[in-house]
Amino acid sequence: ASFPLLCFRSALVTPLIFGLLLQAPCTQPATITQPNFVLLLADDLGIGDVGCYGNDTIRTPNIDRLAMEGVKLTQHIAAAPLCTPSRAAFLTGRYPLRSGMDAINDYRVIFWNAGSGGLPPNETTFAKILQHQGYSTGLIGKWHQGVNCESRNDHCHHPLKHGFDYFYGMPFTLISDCEPTETPEMDRAFRRKLWFSTQVIGLITFTAVLGRLTGLISVHWKTLTCLAGFSLLFFISWFSSYGFVRYWNCIMMRNHGITEQPMVTERTTSLILRESISFIERNKHKPFLLFLSFLHSHTPLLTMKKFLGKSRHGLYGDNVEEMDWMVGQVLDAIDKEGLKDTTLVYFASDHGGWLERQEGERQLGGWNGIYKGGKAMGGWEGGIRVPGIFRWPGVLPAGAVIDEPTSLMDIYPTVVNLAGGTVPQDRVIDGRDLLPLLRGAAARSEHEFLFHYCGVHLHAVRWHQKDTGAVWKAHYVTPIFSPPGAGACYDRGFCPCFGEGVTHHEPPLLFELSQDPSEAKPLSADTEPLFDTVIRKIGRAIEEHRRTLTPVPEQLSVSNVVWKPWLQPCCGTFPFCWCDKEDDN
């Protein structure tokens, strides 16, 4: 009675086993759950500054090695062309205007540690989600997302309030004012106007007093006293902030405590590297997230002596080569601890290189390769197309190159999903999980449209036509280069987002980036049969996108970006703020 049953089972099992034996071997290993993450983000680095993106004169062997051992993205796009909004988008996976971190005015970044604007406490960063997943989370380097809201120690915008267990670095950003020997950089044109106004008021006061003493004019002493008092108050009102930028903005912190005020720039690079390696060593036995936010390659280009004069591109090239060495040191630390195969490493820049940053004959900003424009330009590729490299041995293919549109905002869902977390469902997340694309399981990016803002002003839109692979880009607003044809706004120092310094295009300028990545030849209805169809398609996408936007408080409004003495981080008794606890140690 059991023989027919046995034969029946054999008839079922044998083909199943045979089919499994004939099945092609699995080409992709199972994803390791909860890998470590090392996110390396450069500051102001142009896509043309890196060897694996075509530069053959600046030496970047360690970044190039990452690309050889991993996946290189050739169309990796920042959500904004400046530090504060781009980094807000990176941390939250959302266009910065959704969190109020893009500007309606000319103040397009956090300007003071003592401002009240910053990344809102109700935003959920990927670090906060990973923290809940049991990760040790650390931020080393630049923050530039604000510090306080209402009092000196509320730390409402501080990294420790946004999911990081450990912070060492600058709550602000590196600027030339941090280096006493450099020409001041911060609000340079406005400061000149303030100095001029102070001199005019002072001259008027001095002339009036002299005229009264010589009897040439009849003015009451009371009037002269009021005029002198006004002159003094006007001077104090601005010099109390702009006169002490190095003390107010150029500080280093460890968690909530200030370690250097002002920072000692000669040792900043070595301390940031030491802290990064120490974080890896301390957390090697549990999952960790290290966000190493470089101060390189922002002016004043802090560079150690052993790298000075070593490159073929002056101080800027020296600085980039030093950063590449730091990348190598971090990778060596990962290897030394046996973490290479369980660590996803990511390298990118927050936006394009700063073309206008020059001092005399010295070029202190980056190069954006074949792409038009640079830092501060929300539409042109040079301001937003950046390096993007992922390495995860055994999981991601080595030496792969992907030309699909991707975004810095994609890091958010990618990291969260790999860590076993859940992307927030109560808000719009603009990033897309990159893992299927990186592993080769998907051929196309999930992004159909990417919206390119300059402040809160929409300058351009990219449409990825998936059925053909075409990448169309329509420019509605472009900056007016000065001098004309120069390729940047050299007369201003930064290209504006609105006003007299921009041109509005109707119909918009249209480019097909896969055929014209340099955006040199705008298409028209006469030269491109699909012109009207493409413009209509992008126009509908803009309407749908705008329906997803909701009003939020403007974090970069004038009232939020101005210096407020009661919010100034201070390691002494305000206004006597100076200390060097690193030297004490």
Nearest to 185 by CA among 369, 411, 356, 391: 356
SS3 343: strand
Q: What is the token pair recorded at 21?
A: 């034996």
Nearest to 543 by CA among 440, 451, 465, 412: 451
Q: How many residues does the chain have?
A: 585
* Preceding amide of 262 cis, omega within 30: yes
Element housing 136 (H / E): strand 136-142
144 catalytic residue (yes or no):
yes
CA distances from residue 452 to 43, 516, 517, 542, 556 in whole angstroms, order as listed: 19, 18, 16, 11, 18
Nearest to 420 by CA among 31, 124, 160, 138: 31
Q: What is the token pair recorded at 390?
A: 């992922």
What pairs with residue 155 in β-bridges? Answer: none
Distance, CA of 511 to CA of 524 (rounded, Å): 9
Mark 450-464 as b/e (b = at least 16 C-beta within 10 Å).
bbbbbbbbbbbbbbb
Beta strands per DSSP E along 455-559: 457-465, 470-479, 502-512
97 half-sphere exposure, CB direction, 13 A CA radius: 19
| Catalytic pick among 76, 83, 447, 577 | 83
How many Cβ atoms are within 10 Å of 536's Cβ, its own excluded? Answer: 10
Classify burial at 30, counting beta carbons within 10 Å of its beta carbon; exposed 0-12, middle 13-18, buried 19 or more: exposed
**Beta-carbon contacts of residue 415 (< 8 Å; ≥ 6 apart):** 37, 39, 126, 130, 289, 344
Cβ distance 401 to 357 under 8 Å? Answer: no
CA distances from residue 547 to 378, 452, 477, 535 in whole angstroms, order as listed: 21, 16, 21, 19
Distance, CA of 330 to CA of 55 (rounded, Å): 23
Phi, psi of 46, rounded to the nearest 5 degrees: -80, 150
Cβ distance 431 to 411 under 8 Å? Answer: yes
Cβ distance 126 to 412 under 8 Å? Answer: yes
156 catalytic residue (yes or no):
no
Mark 517-532 as b/e (b = at least 16 C-beta within 10 Å).
bebeeebeeeebebbe
Distance, CA of 405 to CA of 308 (rounded, Å): 36
Residue 266 is given by DSSP the state: G
Nearest to 59 by CA among 368, 319, 362, 299: 319
SS3 496: coil
Cβ distance 350 to 424 under 8 Å? Answer: no
| Catalytic pick among 7, 52, 144, 298 | 144
The residues annotated as belonging to the active site are: 83, 144
